[in-house]
Chain A
Amino acid sequence: MTLLDTRRSSETLASVSSGNALELRGVTKMFGALAAIEDITLSVRPGERRAVLGSNGAGKTTLFNCITGDFLPTSGTIRLFGEDVSNFPAYERIRRGLRRTYQISLLFGGLTVSDNVYLACRGVSRGRFSLLRPRRGDPLLTRTAELIEAVHMTASGDTLVSELSYGQQRQLEIALALAGAPRFILFDEPAAGLSPTERAELVAILTGLPSHIGFIIIEHDMDVALRVAESVTMMHNGRIFKEGTPEEIENDPEVQELYLGDGHG
């Protein structure tokens, strides 16, 4: 079983292999007078795995919201695989291979696990408006089952999402982000609230992703963040504070004072 539809993604990847997967230039988001993020300039190579750290309210989730188009930035440009997507609605960005998970699970509680994953697969394929029910053996149903297996939820396929445990809902969030042919994924604190076993599973899923898939992970747990990421961006008060390798960040005295010192580590 392949975790992901690698054929399609490597094809599309080849056509844009020059340049960055993600490139932000001077991105600012104002909420009234508050700048949730300010003048963020950031680039991530294809296949790169980046951790974003920062204390509560640093603007990490807001950064994700701007990248996915959940809301438009006040100013600045966002390029996805070389294409300027600054004014694209969220669904157009998703169809170009961007995916995300939400810090607070945003799932369809009234639908089953299978239906949730099926919707995710359908959203990035043709036939979103199809009036015909899928038949047995439909490739999308097969993909749905594979994804559910990939996050170890096969036994819960027919369960209503509202009846899932917290940990299972977090896992389902991941499954939704892996649907279709993702090229770049934003994980917003996927490990928050998980048990040690669930954390280990999560790390296994993240490190097991095909190497052409890059991601940014927001994570307070340094153990998880530093195990899956090859580079780190520190945010503070809506701005980028430091960038570097995990070692550089970990050993940086300013970072230690600001972040690791105040009880988050």
Chain B
Amino acid sequence: MALVERSTPYQSSWAERIPTAWWIAGLVALIMPAFVNDFILFQVFGWTFVLGMIALSLMFLAGYGGMVSLIQMSVAALGGYMVAIFGTSGVAAISMDLPWWLYIPIAVIVAAAFGTLVGALAVRTEGIYTIMITLAIASAFFYFTRQNYGIFNGYSGFNLVVPPHLFGVDWRQPMPFYYLTLGCAVLSYLAVVYVSRSPFGLALQGVRDNPRRMAALGFNVTAHRIAAYTFASVIAAFGGILLVWQNAQISPGTAGIPAVIDILVIAVVGGVRRPIGPFIGALIYTVLRTFSPDILTGFGLSGERFKLLIGLGFLAVVFFSPDGVLGLWERWRARKGRGRDPLTGEAK
């Protein structure tokens, strides 16, 4: 993860540095709609990308900043609420019907401001206390939206919140929505990868590893941590906007405590060390959530029990591989590599 690289980068083009596996994955993602049905596109991949983005914002904070924040789902939901409030919904008494190019920036700014504020409160705490304070604010957010009817329309929230028909496309149709969420997920992934190697990202990792030394180098450690919340909240906000479009509605339950915990589970299961982890976690979560009820009922069990499966999976991951499925995979590769080239560890 060298920011200051010497040996390779200037000679080889950036395209050559992308591993083949990524080209294949990209190609598969692009032609996916040719192979799978609308249900898979919308319900499995749509959700994977949306939840993956929200979990990515947690990964950025936890992986690069060492801060486990449980507020990311609430930030996303606030973004979604802003789209419903400033844009168009079935609740005409509240929604303002602004055009998309106004309500999207408003939603992102409001959500990022909220995330920054929570960050400013949370960064003075460490470890378990960060988790507790963000969880407390997340549950306060849930109860507030449920009781506030003037802005958040209380218990029922907003329905009929759909994406704008831009370029004559109904973006909520499965295939357009697939490409929309895929595009947003790829962009936010690239943004995190790029920023992680920028001066800000490098400094954030310095703050994670050695805050005292960072201060002795002239860095305002607290400001860096808060700025990390701002950046993460922008990604969560875009995830939240897609989330409200996917559901076509938003209500307090969108950011209820179970949903808040789900984001943590997704990030941890996938792995918080690398930005692809949250998307892997989101895919596993979505596949389990979508298909395990059928399988469970097939065995004569209640479909509701899929949460149990996810919980057991979570437990197994935390137990066997603290750095998630990605960590398992990397270790397996390393073990395989041992049989190949003992010097470089590379496959021949």
Minimum Cβ distance to chain A for residue B253 (Å): 35
Collect the chain B residues with CB atoms within 8 Å of residue A224's CB: none
Chain B CB within 8 A of A3 CB: no
Considering only CB atoms, which chain A residue lies closest to B195 in the complex? A131
Question: Restricting to B210-264, which residues have a CB under 8 Å from any CB of A?
Answer: 210, 212-221, 223-224, 227
Whether B195 lies near A115 (C-beta < 8 A) is no
Q: In the complex the two chains form, is B219's CB within 8 Å of A111's CB?
A: no
Chain A residues near B200 (CB-CB < 8 A): 128-131
Cβ distance A105 to chain B, nearest Cβ, rounded Å = 10
Taking the closest CB of chain B, its distance from the CB of A128, in whole angstroms, is 6
A111-B220 in contact (CB<8A): no
In B177-229, the 8 Å CB interface with A consists of 194-195, 197-203, 205-206, 209-210, 212-221, 223-224, 227
Stretch from A27-35, A132-140, A190-198 that touches the partner: A132-140
From A46-54, A88-96, A232-240, A245-253, the one touching the partner chain is A88-96
Alpha-carbon gap, A117 to B195, bound state (A): 19
**Which of A89, A109, A120 has the most chain B CB within a 10 Å cutoff?**
A120
The residue of chain A having its C-beta at the shortest distance from the C-beta of B218 within the complex is A123
User: Contact size class for B?
Assistant: 20 to 34
A116 to chain B, nearest CB (A): 9
B308: A residues at CB distance < 8 A:
none
A164 interface residue per 8 A CB criterion: no
Which residue of chain A has its CB nearest to the CB of B3? Answer: A115
**Contact across chains for B6 and A130 when beta carbons are under 8 A apart:** no
**Residue B4 interfacial (CB < 8 Å):** yes
Q: Flag whether A119 is at the interface (Cβ < 8 A).
A: yes
CA distance A179 to B202 in the complex (A): 17
Chain A 100-122 per-residue mask, 1 if CB under 8 angstroms from chain B, else 0: 10100011111110110011101
Asked whether, in the complex, the Cβ of A133 is within 8 Å of the Cβ of B209, the reply is no
What DSSP secondary structure best describes chain A's contact surface? loop
Q: Is A144 an interface residue (CB 8 A)?
A: yes
> Which single member of B4, B201, B216, B217 contacts A141 (CB below 8 Å)?
B4
Give the residue among A91, A107, A114 with the most B Cβ atoms within 10 A: A91
Which one, B4, B6, B198, B213, contacts A108 given CB within 8 A? Answer: B213
Is B24 part of the contact surface with A, judged by Cβ < 8 Å?
no
For residue A88, give the distance in angstroms from its CB to the closest CB of chain B.
11
Q: How far is the CA of A144 from the CA of B3 in the complex (A)?
A: 12
Q: Which residues of A contact B197 (CB under 8 A)?
A: 133
The answer to whether A118 and B213 touch across the interface, beta carbons within 8 angstroms, is no
Query: Would you call A90 and B227 a contact (CB within 8 A)?
Result: no
B7 within 8 A of A: yes
Tell me the complex Cα distance, A259–B213, Å: 31
Query: At the interface, yes or no: B1 with Cβ under 8 Å from chain A?
Result: yes
Judge if B16 is at the interface, Cβ distance under 8 Å.
no
Q: Are B199 and A122 in contact (CB under 8 A)?
A: yes
Closest to B197 in A: A133
In the complex, how many angstroms separate the beta carbon of B38 from the nearest chain A beta carbon? 38
B2 located at the interface, meaning its Cβ lies under 8 Å from any Cβ of chain A in the complex: yes
Given A115-B3, A134-B3, the answer on whether A109 and B220 have CB atoms closer than 8 Å is no
Task: Count chain A CB atoms within 10 A of each CB in B212, B213, B217 and give the residue with the most.
Answer: B217
Q: Is A171 an interface residue (CB 8 A)?
A: no
Question: Within the complex, what minimum Cβ distance (angstroms) separates B17 from chain A?
Answer: 14
Q: Known contacts A129-B227, A133-B198; decide if A91 and B215 are in contact (CB<8 Å).
A: yes
A95, B215: Cβ atoms under 8 Å?
A: no
Let me know if A106 and B210 touch, CB within 8 A: yes
Q: Are B209 and A110 neighbours in the complex by a CB distance under 8 Å? A: yes
What are 15 residue pairs bridging A and B, where the CB atoms are less than 8 Å apart in the complex? A94-B215, A94-B216, A94-B217, A102-B213, A112-B2, A115-B2, A119-B217, A120-B217, A123-B218, A123-B219, A128-B218, A130-B199, A131-B201, A157-B6, A179-B217
Q: A94-B216, A111-B2, A176-B217 are in contact. List 4 more A-B contacts (CB 8 A).
A: A91-B217, A108-B209, A134-B199, A144-B4
Residues of A within 8 A of B (CB): 68-70, 89-91, 94-95, 100, 102, 106-112, 114-115, 118-120, 122-124, 127-134, 136, 141, 144, 157-158, 176, 179-180
**Chain B interface (Cβ < 8 Å from any Cβ of A):** 1-7, 10, 194-195, 197-203, 205-206, 209-210, 212-221, 223-224, 227
Please provide the 5 A-B residue pairs with the shortest distance between their CB atoms, ordered closest to farther. A123-B218, A123-B217, A114-B4, A90-B215, A94-B218
